[in-house]
Chains A and B, each alone.
Chain A
């Protein structure tokens, strides 16, 4: 092969690379589709319920017109719910994605290592003991204390994250047991109040918690976006990642901290909602290709699932309301079983 033919060849390739732009638009179709789906699902959630609205009614309410009672129902009750679902769904899914990259295991989620059960424990203890701290701050505190405890007991994130996950399993179990213990020894009125925090519910999301969570989760999304390329490198073996200039230990700690913070923020709004962190990244990968780190798609899928689960929870058995965490568990556990019985081809 002479140099000339080589140059020609690479020129040809450059031309074909230009058609890559079209390919990339095509590849992003699922993301655009998910955005539209999110919009559709969000509008449906605003319209459907004990009092259902037409599209015209919703439109006029959102423009600030129409029946004040309906206006109150949509703006004060349904809208915060939908917004909370969008923010926390995205947060749980993002946290799941980060944890899966860290552990190189698509079953690894923040809830498996007990981050959310520990948040719940702190909230329940705080509520029953009558601490003058808002529940969402207790949830955040719980997540950090637990993550630090796991880090100390497991002596770092470890090479494959296995030790870390096992330690998390243990600490999560202890946290759940403590929640049960506290609930069983407390006055029934407190138990009712604390119950929502043990299953995950969007019934009365705190606006303050939602504000903090929105900003926090957005920030962690942007940070993750910046480190996307390094996260991709982490899909290779440690040796290759190090040789490509990735400080693997620092990146692991980074993934862990970001995942824990994001989980804690989401838990502080809705309480522990399982399976979103598992389903979000998995569905996004299926849509965009197994080797991609589908950040935006993961968050979108998480938000969509969360809105849908809450919508099902409050409409399926109306006037009885199922907490959102229960719905995701009912839908999520068969999926988890299916995932476990089906041998995955790769580790992530």
Chain B
């Protein structure tokens, strides 16, 4: 696979005493977390536990009620918006796109933070867009309209747009939601490849088994708080699954696979 930037500088991102919420309700209160540079972290937890809220806070979409998001020790609020956009990319859940846009045009928008008032489209932009398209295996369908693509292809197009932004940190909000098993794997394999190229990846994901398989680091959340953090094989046990989802389960480790597999049994009382 061609890499976009094989030796990306690793940037350190952390949340310090971060409180997030809408209007008067706080969803996350005084949460501190440090992202593992160069690894894939998966944020897991039940619906409404604040996973997506945390991601929105990290990516500046939600302004913190208190606390800070730090990039290399600097508060992102103090940094110019475009500057932050060169380091932190996010794929939100919504897929609102202008009518009739093609895959290539979509991916080209990813270059926005690198273009200035007077800096026009350059050869570098062109080649990064080409590589982003190639890395998501979209070269053959780059001139097709987004709305004509399958769910998996469309999701890869959105990821390619985020890749073209050429950031070292990629935040992905449920990148595999509403995808079937094949398309889910397709997208996760792409994420894995991006990580191998040196990107720090943080994703919110519902499928706990896929999280264990693809993530180096799990962040488990309940009620706006982090209840467990670490490598999947270290943190996953029956009591954690019960705490997270109120589900009794079996945990099996397969020979030849390093990650645990969760087999849900029943809802617990």
Q: Which residues of A contact B (CB under 8 A)?
A: 1, 3, 6-7, 9-10, 13-14, 17, 226, 229-230, 232-233, 235-240, 242-247, 289-291, 345-348
Interface residues of B in 230-251 (CB under 8 A from A): none
In the bound complex, do residue A6 and residue B2 qualify as a contact, i.e. CB atoms below 8 Å apart?
yes
In the bound complex, do residue B98 and residue A229 qualify as a contact, i.e. CB atoms below 8 Å apart?
no
Give the residues in chain B near A229, CB-CB below 8 Å: 112, 115
In the bound complex, do residue B81 and residue A246 qualify as a contact, i.e. CB atoms below 8 Å apart?
yes
Scan B68-112; emit 1 where CB is below 8 A from any A CB, else 0.
000000000000011111101110101011111100010001101
In angstroms, Cα B172 to Cα A243, docked, is 12
27 A/B residue pairs, CB under 8 Å, sorted by A: A3-B1, A6-B1, A6-B131, A10-B130, A13-B139, A17-B126, A229-B115, A230-B112, A235-B98, A239-B61, A239-B92, A242-B81, A243-B59, A243-B60, A243-B85, A243-B92, A244-B85, A244-B109, A246-B112, A289-B100, A290-B98, A290-B99, A291-B99, A291-B105, A347-B96, A348-B98, A348-B99
Distance from B117 Cβ to chain A, minimum over Cβ atoms (Å): 6
In the bound complex, do residue B112 and residue A291 qualify as a contact, i.e. CB atoms below 8 Å apart?
no
In angstroms, Cα B200 to Cα A59, docked, is 68
Give the residues in chain B near A226, CB-CB below 8 Å: 117
In angstroms, Cα B139 to Cα A226, docked, is 31
Among A10, A13, A244, A289, find the residue whose CB has the most chain B CB atoms closer than 10 A.
A244
Sample of 14 further A-B pairs with CB below 8 A, known A17-B126, A243-B59, A290-B99: A226-B117, A235-B97, A237-B94, A238-B61, A239-B59, A239-B92, A240-B90, A240-B94, A240-B96, A243-B90, A244-B110, A245-B83, A246-B81, A291-B99
In-complex Cβ contact of B109 among A9, A10, A232, A247 (8 A): A232
In angstroms, Cα B92 to Cα A1, docked, is 29
Among A3, A10, A17, find the residue whose CB has the most chain B CB atoms closer than 10 A.
A10
Give the residues in chain A near B90, CB-CB below 8 Å: 239-240, 243
Distance from A241 Cβ to chain B, minimum over Cβ atoms (Å): 9
Verify if B179 is at the interface (C-beta below 8 Å from A): no
In angstroms, Cα B100 to Cα A242, docked, is 22
In the bound complex, do residue A236 and residue B61 qualify as a contact, i.e. CB atoms below 8 Å apart?
no
Verify if B253 is at the interface (C-beta below 8 Å from A): no
Give the residues in chain B near A1, CB-CB below 8 Å: 1-2
In the bound complex, do residue B96 and residue A237 qualify as a contact, i.e. CB atoms below 8 Å apart?
yes
Counted as pairs of residues, one from A and one from B, with CB atoms less than 8 Å apart, the total is 96
In the bound complex, do residue B134 and residue A245 qualify as a contact, i.e. CB atoms below 8 Å apart?
no
Distance from A108 Cβ to chain B, minimum over Cβ atoms (Å): 16
In the bound complex, do residue B101 and residue A243 qualify as a contact, i.e. CB atoms below 8 Å apart?
no
In-complex Cβ contact of A345 among B59, B61, B99 (8 A): B99
In the bound complex, do residue B97 and residue A236 qualify as a contact, i.e. CB atoms below 8 Å apart?
yes
In the bound complex, do residue B61 and residue A242 qualify as a contact, i.e. CB atoms below 8 Å apart?
yes
In the bound complex, do residue A245 and residue B92 qualify as a contact, i.e. CB atoms below 8 Å apart?
no
Give the residues in chain A near B134, CB-CB below 8 Å: 6, 9-10
In angstroms, Cα B112 to Cα A243, docked, is 10
In angstroms, Cα B214 to Cα A271, docked, is 63
In angstroms, Cα B1 to Cα A226, docked, is 37
In angstroms, Cα B266 to Cα A180, docked, is 71
Q: Knowing A239-B92, A243-B59, A244-B85 are in contact, say whether A10-B127 is a contact too (CB < 8 A).
A: yes
Distance from B54 Cβ to chain A, minimum over Cβ atoms (Å): 14
In-complex Cβ contact of A346 among B61, B98, B130 (8 A): B98
In the bound complex, do residue A244 and residue B98 qualify as a contact, i.e. CB atoms below 8 Å apart?
no
With both beta carbons as reference points, the residue of chain A lying nearest to B146 in the complex is identified as A291
In the bound complex, do residue A240 and residue B100 qualify as a contact, i.e. CB atoms below 8 Å apart?
no
With both beta carbons as reference points, the residue of chain A lying nearest to B120 in the complex is identified as A229
